[in-house]
Structure 1
Amino acid sequence: MKNIQEQIHAIPPEMGVYVFYDQNQKTLYVGKSKCLRKRVQNYFRTPPTDPRPFIPHLQQEIHHIEYTLTDTEKEALLLEQQLIQQLKPKYNLLFRYENGQIYLRLNPNHPFPRLEICRQIQKDKKLYFGPYLSRSDVRKILDIAKKYFLLRTCTNQEFRQRKYPCLQYQIQQCTAPCVGLENPKDYQKKVEEFLQLLKGQPHSLLQKLQDKMKLLAANLEFERAAKIRDAIASIQKLQEQQKVVLNSHKDLDIFAHATSPKGIALHVFYVRYGKILSAENIFCATQEKISTFLEAYLGHYYCKNVFVPEEILVDVLPASTLGLKALLKEKKGKSVPILCPKRGVKKQLIELCAKNASAQLQTMEKQYHSTVSTLEDLQRLLGLQNFPFRMEAYDISCIQGQHAVGAMITFELGKPLKNLYRHYKIRTVSQANDFAMIAEVLQRRLRSASTLELPNLIVIDGGKGQLNAALKVLENYAIQGVDIIALAKARKKHHNSSCLERVFLPNHPTPIPLQEGLETTHLLQRLRDEAHRFALAYHRMLRDRAKK
């Protein structure tokens, strides 16, 4: 502790970003502050003044402190988020999970633009719509675009290389603009009509469709009239899901919270063109002040490539907004006010958002603590030395050694961290040898241990042979303190009987059978099945590519 106090005394009382490391040079935590020395001192007060539950563990693990001075809050905010994404600190838990937002993108400069899905907004001249949190909503929109507006679905490369109309043209879900069977002006007219739908202004479009349907019915073209009728029904159903909340066509992001002794629930409304497009719930097991929590969350969220609205509404103002406002102004090209409305329609929206946060808090708390309880049960059941906060699962996929691939997936607190999923194309094994393939994949994973934090538990899909191959790799790399198991699929012994899933442990001669129906069993199965899905998808992609 004396060494730590000397390091703290050497930190200047200025604005910047601090990083805590353990004795193995692993990053523990990244933060920012207007006064670095005062902020870092708060972590070591006795008794602790910081209520966050991980602080006692953090105090014990800190070995040395590094810092970087910045001139403005905006620079500190950007540097903090950059270091969090780069170093993956152990205790920056709030920012480890992706929010899973989906955007629809359309390039208006292309003579025949295509509607496509993307995860981030780029600085280009394309149009973006969203965010959508439900893939089913996105599928419905894409389905309407293809079936009723006949917008192309092929990639730009396929579009350029096409010489003959594809199957979509044959089934009357595309007009084959790729081979010159549609005029660009007619296609652009369809695109403009469809954009009315995405912008929440479908009234004139619906009127045109209804007039066209009546005209076709009058001319006894009932099949075409029925198709337009179905389009009208699909558009109306989609619009019913989007509640009108503003008379204007403003874009707003609305944040409101609910708290309990166990954590904070944050509810978000994404309002686009005056309608609630989607909503999201976030739960964090923390006792931070809501103003501090909101400052950190908003800074992290808007540092990513997401849509920046015209206004941001909150029920409590963040502890500091200078850096955030500067960031928003740079990304939007103009000032974006952060408001805490006290009356009127916007106040009603905040109250509605807060009501949803309160309703979700109990459910989200229950889910969080149920997950923790399941992980504790798993630790006791398997005799693990670590609480399995972070788990990695590995699987191999190949057919007789051909197009062999490995996959690694990561779960934290029972949730998938898809930004840490990894594919491995097998390089050193030419024959069907599952043991050697597992060894190669694990070796390549451990080479990146300096940049990618090691898990608490490694799960190998397989039996004792795969486990021994993985153990040998861990021994060669002198990896200690990481639990490892192998999960073998259940096998049918006889026609009417089956044996349970089995877990193989190091230095245990017999496997542990997993009882069906338990949450611990379901968690391991979900982990194993996700690794299998991810590996199989990559294997199929390579196999299909080789056929072309």
Structure 2
Amino acid sequence: MSESRHFDPEPVLKTLPTGPGVYRMFDDTGTVIYVGKARNLKRRVSSYFRKGAHNAKTQALVGQVADLQVTVTHTEAEALILENNLIKEHRPRYNVLLRDDKSYPYIHLSTQQDFPRLSFHRGQRRGEGRYFGPFPSSGAVRETLNHLQKVFPVRQCRDSFYRHRSRPCLQYQIGRCTAPCVGYISEADYARDVRHVEMFLSGQSNEVVDELVGRMEVAAEALNFEQAARLRDRITSLRRIQERQYVSGARGDVDVIACRLRENLACVQVFVIRDGQNLGNQTYFPRTPPDTTPEEILYAFIARHYLGETTPGELLVSHELSDGEVLEEALGHDAGHRVRIASRLRGDRRRWMDMAERNAEHALSARMDSEAIMERRFEDLQQALSLDEIPERIECFDISHTRGEATVASCVVFGREGAIKDDYRRFNIEGITGGDDYAAMHQALERRFRRLREGEGTTPDLLLIDGGEGQLRQAEGVLEDLQIEGVMPVGIAKGPRRRAGEEVLLVAGRPDSIRLAPESPALHLLQQVRDEAHRFAITGHRSRRGKSRNQSSLEEIAGLGPKRRQALMKQFGGLKGIKRAGVEDLSRVPGISTALAERIHGHLNG
């Protein structure tokens, strides 16, 4: 590796200590371009200037270094805190940077008044009362406040507005406030609503439901049907809120952090869980230099995101972090309590991470669908396949089945603006030998292009087939039989090791296959289209298979007797509510074990 023309590192390297510290690299204009921390400054900084294999990011960085300065610290944890402060101050070009550094919002419940108020709060928590959160975004706070107001009509108006009322406001008229301002509710009844709010925000929503169910039954027995109906509606609303909570029953504060990286575009998804309640999620797209790994992104993100801010007792991460102990020490010192970082997850924690990873994938896919990126990919595809023009429309076909059962073919469509989901199609394959993918592909293509011959639909420029030579021959045969012109069939087959980036392209009419570089935008486009076709096919197959197997009657579930069925119907308001409930929700009903809840859920949802 060639060293920077502006900087001779040897004099500096000779004087570096072997202890922990922070180093700053400057370009020839005096701008800080990189800040790093090290357990051994001499060894770490020297590694940048050794001749040998370095990735593109390091080569570009070292090529611009004109000066180097270090700061010695007592411990590596101190170095991490200093590194974080310097990165926030200088925002160096070659560091992972966050774009959103605002403080988290909270829900505030005042306590100094006879009739407390719920409100949105951001900033230092100095006022009297209880603070619930932090929430990942202001939208999550406002959505939660809106839901709470429908179930527990605790006032959310400003004190100045509250003190000067002589008659109820509109919130009372629409059932979202009990008008304590004009004495329409006693302090005791209002305090009960406040207590329910505190219980719900503290993760005790199931206890609130049980209490409301008891009050509803008492009201019904006393023939007070109007009050029983109001309580029933509250229970139904509360159950709907609970359905939005993927996590329930757990205790403690946990943040779930997943990272996904594609084509040097990184997405970090953070789910915030406080006292057993999933308070929502926030998506971040940190600026990352080329060749940065997900582990490096996560490490940098956690340091930038949490140091100096509120940090929960546990962080669950999608990738194992090197030097994770140092990060734990620094975060614990900063937060004033122990912080644990875990990546080897099981049970509920594994499910939480799966949720975060799915959301990260979705957000990353949406980001990559942006018009500018898609345009560049289509241009690169034109060059890679030596096309006369940039393709305007790509259709991709894939087949999905389970041992030949319920075979479904998918057709997804992409244009230069991204996925065209209105044009997606599925084909239920019939009349073939189970497991014959060639016959399934032939039937799906024939049905699609026969419709085209009859004037239905738009002709694609590129027909992408998920498969090898056999599937590609089916596409060629169908196009020839139906005399469809102007469509180029291309097969995308996995390489010998079946790894992403090693795909082989088979182009109809060309003797040689094409293998694109793993970083090729054209390959990324074809991978994205292929993966979307695969997802769409699997979803259709599972739906078709589930319909053929599904039985919805509760009476047919072993171990579910009349009393338990009645308890389920009471808690969830009917079969539709039971079917919508998760395993955790079902298992909270008295008499329903986790095993039985899983049986019920699987029976009703296929």
**TM-score (normalised: structure 2):** 0.50
The one-letter amino acid paired with 1:15 is P
The one-letter amino acid paired with 1:296 is A
SS at match of 2:132: strand
Residues 29 and 270 from structure 1, CA distance in 2 versus in 1: closer, same or farther, beyond 3 angstroms? Answer: same
Hey, what does 2:273 align to over in structure 1? 271
Give the distance between the partners of 2:100 and 2:210, measured in 1 at CA: 43
Hey, what does 1:28 align to over in structure 2? 33
- Contact map agreement 2:107 2:132 (CA 8 A) in 1: yes
The reply on whether 1:308 has 2:312 as its aligned counterpart is: yes
Give the distance between the partners of 1:137 and 1:280, measured in 2 at CA: 9
The one-letter amino acid paired with 2:141 is V
The one-letter amino acid paired with 1:253 is D
* Residue 373 of structure 1, CA deviation: 5.7
Equivalent residue in structure 1 for 2:342, among 339, 344, 363: 339
Hey, what does 1:240 align to over in structure 2? 243
The one-letter amino acid paired with 1:80 is E
- Contact map agreement 1:16 1:68 (CA 8 A) in 2: yes
* Residue 356 of structure 1, CA deviation: 5.1
Give the distance between the partners of 1:4 and 1:158, measured in 2 at CA: 69
Equivalent residue in structure 2 for 1:143, among 132, 142, 146: 146
Equivalent residue in structure 2 for 1:251, among 230, 250, 253: 253
- Contact map agreement 1:264 1:287 (CA 8 A) in 2: no
SS at match of 1:95: coil
Structure of higher CA gyration radius: 2
Residues 162 and 329 from structure 1, CA distance in 2 versus in 1: closer, same or farther, beyond 3 angstroms? Answer: farther
1:133-532 alignment to 2 at 5 Å? 133=136, 137-155=140-158, 162=164, 167=169, 171=173, 173-174=176-177, 186-210=189-213, 212=215, 228-244=231-247, 248-260=250-262, 262-284=264-286, 285=288, 286-309=290-313, 311-330=314-333, 333-341=336-344, 343-347=346-350, 349-350=352-353, 353-354=356-357, 357=360, 361-367=364-370, 370=373
- Contact map agreement 2:7 2:65 (CA 8 A) in 1: no
Deviations 1:384-425 (A, max 9, x none): xxxxxxxxxxxxxxxxxxxxxxxxxxxxxxxxxxxxxxxxxx
SS at match of 1:14: coil
The one-letter amino acid paired with 2:75 is T
Hey, what does 1:470 align to over in structure 2? none
* Residue 335 of structure 1, CA deviation: 2.2
The one-letter amino acid paired with 1:202 is S
Hey, what does 1:515 align to over in structure 2? none
Give the distance between the partners of 1:207 and 1:369, measured in 2 at CA: 53
SS at match of 2:97: helix
Give the distance between the partners of 1:78 and 1:279, measured in 2 at CA: 25
Ranges in structure 2 where 5+ consecutive residues have no aligned partner: 380-606
Deviations 1:322-345 (A, max 9, x none): 443234434554423222336554
Give the distance between the partners of 1:89 and 1:119, measured in 2 at CA: 28
Ranges in structure 1 where 5+ consecutive residues have no aligned partner: 377-548
Deviations 1:415-474 (A, max 9, x none): xxxxxxxxxxxxxxxxxxxxxxxxxxxxxxxxxxxxxxxxxxxxxxxxxxxxxxxxxxxx
Give the distance between the partners of 2:303 and 2:343, measured in 1 at CA: 17
The one-letter amino acid paired with 1:19 is R
- Contact map agreement 2:368 2:374 (CA 8 A) in 1: no
- Contact map agreement 1:121 1:307 (CA 8 A) in 2: no
* Residue 84 of structure 1, CA deviation: 2.7
Give the distance between the partners of 2:43 and 2:206, measured in 1 at CA: 58
The one-letter amino acid paired with 1:197 is F
The one-letter amino acid paired with 1:192 is R
The reply on whether 1:19 has 2:24 as its aligned counterpart is: yes
User: Which range moved further: 264-273 or 218-227?
Assistant: 218-227
Residues 24 and 138 from structure 1, CA distance in 2 versus in 1: closer, same or farther, beyond 3 angstroms? Answer: same
* Residue 235 of structure 1, CA deviation: 1.9
SS at match of 1:298: helix
Alignment coverage as a number of residue pairs: 370
- Contact map agreement 2:56 2:291 (CA 8 A) in 1: yes
Hey, what does 2:505 align to over in structure 1? none
User: Which range moved further: 315-324 or 264-273?
Assistant: 264-273
Hey, what does 2:54 align to over in structure 1? 49
* Residue 194 of structure 1, CA deviation: 0.9
- Contact map agreement 1:206 1:232 (CA 8 A) in 2: yes
Hey, what does 2:384 align to over in structure 1? none
Hey, what does 2:411 align to over in structure 1? none
Residues 108 and 71 from structure 1, CA distance in 2 versus in 1: closer, same or farther, beyond 3 angstroms? Answer: farther
The one-letter amino acid paired with 2:169 is L
* Residue 299 of structure 1, CA deviation: 1.6
Give the distance between the partners of 1:95 and 1:8, measured in 2 at CA: 31
Aligned-pair Cα RMSD in Å: 4.3
Residues 371 and 128 from structure 1, CA distance in 2 versus in 1: closer, same or farther, beyond 3 angstroms? Answer: farther
Give the distance between the partners of 1:344 and 1:212, measured in 2 at CA: 35
Give the distance between the partners of 2:371 and 2:135, measured in 1 at CA: 24
The one-letter amino acid paired with 1:65 is L
* Residue 107 of structure 1, CA deviation: 4.2
SS at match of 2:236: helix
Residues 149 and 362 from structure 1, CA distance in 2 versus in 1: closer, same or farther, beyond 3 angstroms? Answer: closer
1:84-123 alignment to 2 at 5 Å? 84-98=87-101, 102-108=105-111, 111-119=114-122, 122=125
- Contact map agreement 2:316 2:342 (CA 8 A) in 1: yes
Give the distance between the partners of 1:362 and 1:163, measured in 2 at CA: 51
Residues 208 and 274 from structure 1, CA distance in 2 versus in 1: closer, same or farther, beyond 3 angstroms? Answer: closer
Give the distance between the partners of 1:19 and 1:251, measured in 2 at CA: 35
Give the distance between the partners of 2:304 and 2:374, measured in 1 at CA: 25
- Contact map agreement 2:125 2:131 (CA 8 A) in 1: no
Residues 120 and 100 from structure 1, CA distance in 2 versus in 1: closer, same or farther, beyond 3 angstroms? Answer: closer
SS at match of 1:138: helix
* Residue 300 of structure 1, CA deviation: 1.7
* Residue 270 of structure 1, CA deviation: 3.1
SS at match of 1:31: strand
SS at match of 1:153: coil
Hey, what does 2:590 align to over in structure 1? none
- Contact map agreement 2:332 2:339 (CA 8 A) in 1: yes
- Contact map agreement 2:101 2:305 (CA 8 A) in 1: no
Give the distance between the partners of 1:264 and 1:143, measured in 2 at CA: 33
The one-letter amino acid paired with 1:49 is H
* Residue 258 of structure 1, CA deviation: 4.2
- Contact map agreement 2:24 2:36 (CA 8 A) in 1: yes
Residues 219 and 134 from structure 1, CA distance in 2 versus in 1: closer, same or farther, beyond 3 angstroms? Answer: farther
The reply on whether 1:77 has 2:80 as its aligned counterpart is: yes
Give the distance between the partners of 1:76 and 1:110, measured in 2 at CA: 46
